[in-house]
Amino acid sequence: MFRGFYTVASGMLSQQRRTEMLTNNMANANTPGFKADQSAMRAFPEMLLQRLDHTSIPTEKPLNLPFNKEVGRLNTGVYMQEAIPQFVQGALQSTENKTDVSLVNTNLTKDQSVFFTVQNPNGDLRYTRNGNFAVDGEGFLTTSSGLYVLNDQGNRIPLTSDQFTINEDGILTEANGQQTRLGIGFSDNALRMVKEGDGLFRTEDGAALQSAYTSANGQFTLQQGFLERSNVDVSRTMTDMLSAYRAFEANQKVLQAYDKSMEKAANEIGRI
């Protein structure tokens, strides 16, 4: 009976975490460059139940031989193993803003991706698909959250104004003719990237990604004046949220049934 409590509780917890993930996807449906998460549900290892028994052999001195009798298999519950971001290309939205830039996958597989290279206040490298850039008070190109955008040499990009152009190859040209190239990182297996808040990713070991200009040349382009929209499918996310809620509710009813059975065992059978 108590084992059933644990099994049902694991189902409720997994559906709660799945709902939290889907809610986060829904909340970021309009966040540029956001990559929706998909849950991976997995059952705990099954248990093979056996009963210890013995058989008696009629001899001059009775002999008892122990043996195991198989009862059956028991599932011990389910859990949400991980949330996996989906790097499907999001739709492009025209903003006509010169500081908005989008990355466009042209010939990349679903597990590959390219990222803008940015630097956080601690000097660590981070990667993002959100090209909603701006020019800060010191004249550096930054993300909307204030992180420095880096060029292909790993340096910050100083600008004289926000009147610049960026071509499909990532070359930024200012009004005075000065040029630099945006830093674009390439991951051959983007699923191994660690997702952080604010649309940021980092590598598992903290090392820098290889340059996309050499590793993924011709497999991506940049579009100025556009933003990559979130790849969240709102209608499907709503359906999945309702499904997770119903599954949670079903487990809740089973838990209530267990609770009533335990109440009867304690109060009614105990009196007998």
Q: Are residues 200 and 177 in the same domain?
A: yes
- The pLDDT confidence band at residue 72, using thresholds 50, 70 and 90, is low
- Strand duo 220-224 + 101-105: pairing: antiparallel
Share of the chain above pLDDT 90, in %: 55
Number of neighbouring beta carbons within 10 Å of residue 112: 20
Are 189 and 131 part of one and the same domain? yes
**pLDDT at 82 exceeding the cut of 70:** yes
What is the residue-averaged pLDDT of the chain? 87
Hunting for tokens 């499904």 — which residue is that?
243
Give the pLDDT mean for 168-194: 93
94 and 216 together in one domain: yes
Same structural domain, 123 and 46: no
Domain that holds residue 73: 2-83+234-269
pLDDT at residue 4 in the model = 74
How far apart, in whole angstroms, are the C-alpha atoms of residue 78 and residue 8? 9
pLDDT higher than threshold 60 for residue 39: yes
| Whether residue 34 is found in the same domain as residue 12 | yes
Residue 105 and residue 184 in one domain: yes
Give the count of beta carbons closer than 10 Å to the beta carbon of residue 170: 22
Do 97 and 224 lie in one domain? The reply is yes
Q: Do residues 119 and 183 share a domain?
A: yes
151: helix, strand or coil: strand
- The total of structural domains in the chain comes to 2
Q: pLDDT tens-digit profile of 121-170? A: 888 999 999 999 999 989 999 998 899 999 999 999 999 888 899 999 99
Whether residue 102 is found in the same domain as residue 218: yes
Residues 238 and 112 in one domain: no
Final residue of a structural domain among 228, 243, 259: 228
- Show the CA angle centred on residue 193, arms to residues 190 and 195, nearest 5°: 120
User: Could you give the C-alpha distances from 54 to 12, 43, 63, 162, 218, in angstroms and in order?
Assistant: 40, 34, 10, 86, 72
Quote the CA–CA distance of 80 and 20 in Å, as a whole number: 11
pLDDT at 54: 58
> What is the structure's pLDDT at 147?
95
pLDDT score recorded for residue 164: 93
- Look at 51-55, 215-219, 250-254 and tell me which has the smallest mean pLDDT: 51-55
pLDDT of residue 66: 66
pTM for the full predicted model = 0.79
Structural contact between residues 178 and 146, judged by C-beta atoms closer than 8 angstroms: no
